[in-house]
Amino acid sequence: MFLRQFRAFFRIHRQVFQTFRAHFRSFLIPGFRNRFSKRVATLLPLVILRSADCRQKDVEEVRRPSRKRTMSKVKYETCLEGRAQLYLNAIKVRWEQLHKIPGLFSYQLQKTPQCRRIPGSWGFYTELNADRSVKRRRPQTIENLNPSFKPNMFNFNKVNAQEVIMTIDDAFGSPEVQMIINKSPITKYHTLICPEVEKNHVQRITRDVLEFCITFMRSINDKDMRMGYNSPGALASVNHLHFHLLHMPQDLYIDQAPLDELAGGYVYRLSRRAPTEAICIVFNEDDNDKQVAEKVDQLYKLAMWMCQNNMPHNLFITQDRRKGKSGNVQVFVFARSEYCVNKDLADFNVGFCELAGYIPLPDPDKLENLTELQVLYRIRTVTGEAPKAVYEEMTHIVEGCEQSLWDLPLTI
């Protein structure tokens, strides 16, 4: 009777049936007639069914789809790709602990700051952060995009040891990186990513830090964490190489801005319908190591070209929030024609946060009265015609181009 009732189940789970039959036969001995054995035999099918169900769930857990890897499990577990989420979890815990220490930060972030979505087509997000404009360390003046390191000026060798959240020096294939609190935070978990601090890299992108940041973002499971970079002349405050890691759970205009393909099937530009101009390089979830390395190389070449042409720039790195694109990472590059030497601490400046649609403001009046037209005018003033040149250069880097007749030297 029992077999007839569960016959359909056993047809699907043949292994379970075989296990049950073997156990059931073991009870067909003289001792089976006693009451205890009968109870055990009655409960046995339920035990087997339950264990089979658990085993099936375990198998499903192991077989859960994950991002394609091109390395062994052992190597994966020792590289940044396999450790990034653990690092991020530790950073969050430690940042919260440090934020409670009196005097360590220049000010305490409010748990529920005053904020506003600017009315308009794009929904720029503004948030009040009055303390940052008056209590932060005075920004440095960095004269050009190829500066020299000045050890007498503030740099990250001079930070209090307590400000260092962690040092990442155990990730295979990655440079040593210090994660340092930003003493004047814009958002929760605001952390500075500082590679090879003792080597005194100036605030100019290196390939290693670029690959580190992109790999980190591709390897974490948290869409609310974003990264950014300000070059000299584009709101950089310290001439010592660093990226920013911030918590931005808000939906920003950049997350849904329309894109037009530019080159290679993975390099885009913001559509002409978008309010700003930028390049967007997409690192797909299933990109292998070779593809990632090639894209990083191209991005690095573009950054060096902008430095050589004295073109300030900002980067914004985020996990793709567009529908159906989960798992991808977008790197937005904003080029500028206007070099910003000094910050206006009483007004809103244009760095990677503002270009992405997140605008911290110094006073309630500006928070309430800033308009979308004013924001777009300010952004377009600093970007100018620079993006057009960047579109051409990036297309050349990705696709290359043959030398035209007009480029050849004239010979007679």
The 10s digit of each residue's pLDDT in 13-49 is 555 556 556 555 554 544 444 544 445 455 555 544 4
Strand partners, 193: 179, 243
Look up residue 328 and give its amino acid: N
pLDDT at 99 over 70: yes
Which one, of 242, 152, 243, lies nearest residue 202 by Cα?
Answer: 242
Please report the pLDDT score of residue 410 as a whole number.
43
Please report the pLDDT score of residue 372 as a whole number.
97
Hey, where are the domains in the chain? 83-399
pLDDT greater at residue 395 or residue 401: 395
Please report the pLDDT score of residue 25 as a whole number.
59
Instruction: Please report which confidence band the pLDDT of residue 197 belongs to, taking 50, 70 and 90 as the band edges.
Output: very high
Percent of the chain surpassing pLDDT 90 = 73
Tens digits of residue pLDDT in 113-126: 999 999 999 999 99
For domain 83-399, give its CATH number from 3.30.460.10, 3.40.50.620, 3.30.428.70, 3.40.50.10130. 3.30.428.70
Please report the pLDDT score of residue 73 as a whole number.
82
Report CA torsion sign: 362, 364, 365, 371.
positive
Please spell the DSSP secondary structure of 95-161, one letter per residue.
HHHHHTSTTTSSSPPPSS--EEEPSSSS--EEEE-HHHHHHSPPPPP--SSSPPP-TTS--GGGS-G
Angle between helices 14-26 and 35-62 (to 10 degrees): 160
Please report the pLDDT score of residue 96 as a whole number.
98
Instruction: Please report which confidence band the pLDDT of residue 404 belongs to, taking 50, 70 and 90 as the band edges.
Output: very low
Mean pLDDT, the chain, as a whole number? Answer: 86
Please report the pLDDT score of residue 234 as a whole number.
95
Please report the pLDDT score of residue 70 as a whole number.
62
Please report the pLDDT score of residue 397 as a whole number.
97
Give 404's contacts (C-beta < 8 A, 6+ positions apart): none
Please report the pLDDT score of residue 138 as a whole number.
84
Q: Out of 260-264, 321-325, 405-409, which region has the weakest mean confidence (pLDDT)?
A: 405-409
Tens digits of residue pLDDT in 298-344: 999 999 999 999 999 999 999 999 999 999 999 999 999 989 876 65
Is pTM beyond 0.75? Reply is yes
- Round to whole Å and give the CA distance between 177 and 207: 14
- Round to whole Å and give the CA distance between 299 and 81: 20
Tens digits of residue pLDDT in 122-169: 999 999 999 998 888 888 989 899 999 999 999 999 999 999 999 999
CA Rg, the chain, in Å?
A: 28
Instruction: Please report which confidence band the pLDDT of residue 238 belongs to, taking 50, 70 and 90 as the band edges.
Output: very high
Instruction: Please report which confidence band the pLDDT of residue 71 belongs to, taking 50, 70 and 90 as the band edges.
Output: confident
Tens digits of residue pLDDT in 343-367: 655 567 899 999 999 999 999 999 9
Three-class SS state of 50: helix
pLDDT greater at residue 71 or residue 318: 318
Q: What is the mean pLDDT of residues 45-72?
A: 49
pLDDT at 2 over 60: no
Strand partners, 359: 126
pLDDT at 237 over 50: yes
- Round to whole Å and give the CA distance between 256 and 318: 12
